[in-house]
Amino acid sequence: MLHRYRTFASAVALLLSAVAFTRAAPVAIAVHGGAGTLVREEMTQEREAEYRAELERALRAGHAVLVDGGSAVDAVVAAIVVLEDSPLFNAGRGAVFTHDGMVELDASLMDGYSNSAGAAAGVRTVRNPIRLARAVMEDSPHVLLAGRGAEEFATEQGLELVANEYFHTERRRSDLDRVKASAVGKTTTRADGANTDRDTAAFLASARYGTVGAVALDASGRLAAGTSTGGMTNKRWGRIGDSPLIGAGTFADRRCAVSCTGHGEYFIRGAIAYDVAARMDYAAADLDTATRQAIHEKLARAGGTGGLVAMDVQGNVAMPFNTRGMYRGAIHADGRMEIAIFADAEN
């Protein structure tokens, strides 16, 4: 009898510790598909459904990795690859055109647990730039590779290469034509990036939103963040934005993971991704406060537009933005899925 009781008691103890373990080890993921002038009236129901379906596919791909015990880095890469392969977003296939009618891609990845990072800028032939960022992080002594050298490294690493035309879509080509034809588009070529209304208008007109990013927390409590983009329509002179810059467009440490989207020049000057981490570190701000201050105070004060997705080590998610909309979604630590597009989202 006593023996039976002991067996029963240890089974209950095992069950309780399993429940406690599950509670103590939440996994979560959040993604964005870019911020911009997204207006409900200008979006058809079919289009909206397509975006939602792709965001959900990305979330599920990343979440499946986490549930299987994969790392936060694995999950971020899995989610971003889905969005890079989708023609809907400004990353990988479907990215925006440069002034010269090419696609040039930027991406970065950071592992907050090991404090390692990798990034690539201005690549034209790498099908999934986020995989290149990962290879730079794991298989090179460097953090950021650019242009031809980055492509040489991708070739050595055996990453999939494609012709630049693989990335081209009609929609992005007409964006380029439209921006080139509009007077406002021409102001994007300002080299000093000064804070003027015309700059902001140029961004809103030219960046057809759709940069993608992801943040994740794995069952071991590790955080990671990644971002991938084609940059801004009509960009020239090898322009690089915030997305491949650690601390500007992407950052992760043991407290938080952040991926940004918006007018890159402002995110670079404000070191916005790192700014969130710094507020949590130096000012002991919680994730919600830190991200709100970074976007609604620091970025907005400078005249910048955009948003971010961020996660802390408890799996809390924050997705603030100061544009009309931001494609975004999360699978929270309690398993709840959330996908939203517009600022006034009730969803």
The nearer residue to ligand ASP, 90 or 316, going by C-beta atoms, is 90
Q: Shortest distance, CB of residue 263 to ligand ASP, whole angstroms?
A: 6
Active-site entry in 188, 211, 227, 261: 211
- Nearer to ligand ASP among residue 71 and residue 108 (C-beta): 108
Among residues 242, 217, 211, 235, the alpha carbon closest in space to that of 326 is found at 211
Q: What is the number of alpha carbons within 13 Å of residue 109 lying toward its C-beta? A: 28
CA separation for the pair 104, 102 (Å, rounded)? 6
Distance of CA 68 to the CA centre of its chain: 22
CA distance 321 to 260: 9
Give the Cα separation of 318 and 258 in Å (integer). Answer: 9
- Bridge partners, residue 227, by sequence: 108, 213
Rounded to a whole number of angstroms, the minimum distance from the CB of residue 64 to ligand ASP is 26
- Of the candidates 94, 93, 91, the one whose C-alpha atom is nearest the C-alpha of residue 80 is 91
- Take residue 92 and report the two structure tokens written for it: 């990988």
* Shortest separation between residue 254's beta carbon and ligand ASP, angstroms: 25
Q: How far apart are CA 179 and CA 177, in angstroms?
A: 6
With respect to ligand ASP, which residue has the nearer C-beta, 192 or 346? 192
The span from the CA of 62 to the CA of 56, in Å, is: 10
For ligand ASP, the closer CB: 10 or 189: 189
Contact residues for ligand ASP, defined by CB under 6 A: 34, 90, 207, 209, 211, 229, 231-232, 241-243, 249, 261-262, 264
Residues 6+ apart with CB under 8 A from 61: 78, 79, 81, 82
Q: What is the smallest separation between the CB atom of 249 and ligand ASP, expressed in angstroms?
A: 6
* Minimal distance, residue 211 CB to ligand ASP, in Å: 3
| Closest to ligand ASP by CB, 70 or 249 | 249
- Whichever of 241 and 320 has its CB closer to ligand ASP, that residue is 241
Question: In this structure, what is the dihedral angle of CA atoms 232, 237, 242, 246, given to the nearest 10 degrees?
Answer: 150
Place of tokens 């975006």: 51
Task: Strand 116-123: give its sheet, edge to edge.
Answer: 144-146, 116-123, 105-111, 223-229, 212-217, 28-36, 325-331, 337-342
- Determine the length of the chain: 347
Q: How far is the CB of 334 from ligand ASP (least distance, A)?
A: 29
One-character DSSP codes across 289-341: HHHHIIIIIIIHHHT--EEEEEEETT--EE--BSSSEEEEEEE-TTS-EEEEE
289 is catalytic: no
86 or 261, CB closer to ligand ASP? 261
- Minimum Å distance from CB 208 to ligand ASP? 8
Point out the residues that are catalytic. 211
